[in-house]
Amino acid sequence: MGIVEGMPAGISISAGYINHQIQRLQKAHGLDAGAKVAPPAVEVLSGMKSGKTLGSPIALRCIQSHRAGGSILCSDS
């Protein structure tokens, strides 16, 4: 579970974009296809409607969990 605060209302963003950014970070931390890491899957639970932010905190649920260099890139909870 993750919470993103401070996003203004009306910003277009999608779970697909967030997933892409997590994959980019995984590659930067050495978690690429050679490591056989499953692609991330993020579910937006609140704070967005019709692909746009509402101005309230955004709750995200990450389906897979991976650790790289001591940091959590996507955590189950």
- pLDDT at 9 > cutoff 60: yes
pLDDT in tens, 27-58: 776 655 555 556 668 888 999 999 999 999 99
pTM of the model: 0.65
- Which tokens go with 67? 């650790």
Q: 70, 68, 57, 60: which is closest to 26 by C-alpha?
A: 68
Q: Which range, of 4-8, 28-32, 69-73, averages the lowest pLDDT? A: 69-73
In terms of residue numbers, what domain contains 69?
Answer: 2-74
Number of domains present in the structure of the chain: 1
- Which residues share a beta bridge with 44? 60
Following CA atoms 28, 2, 42, 50 in sequence, which dihedral angle do they give, to the nearest 10 degrees? -120
Mean local confidence (pLDDT), 2-18 = 90
- Which tokens go with 39? 């692609």
Radius of gyration for the chain, computed over Cα atoms and rounded to the nearest angstrom: 13
How is residue 11 annotated by DSSP? -
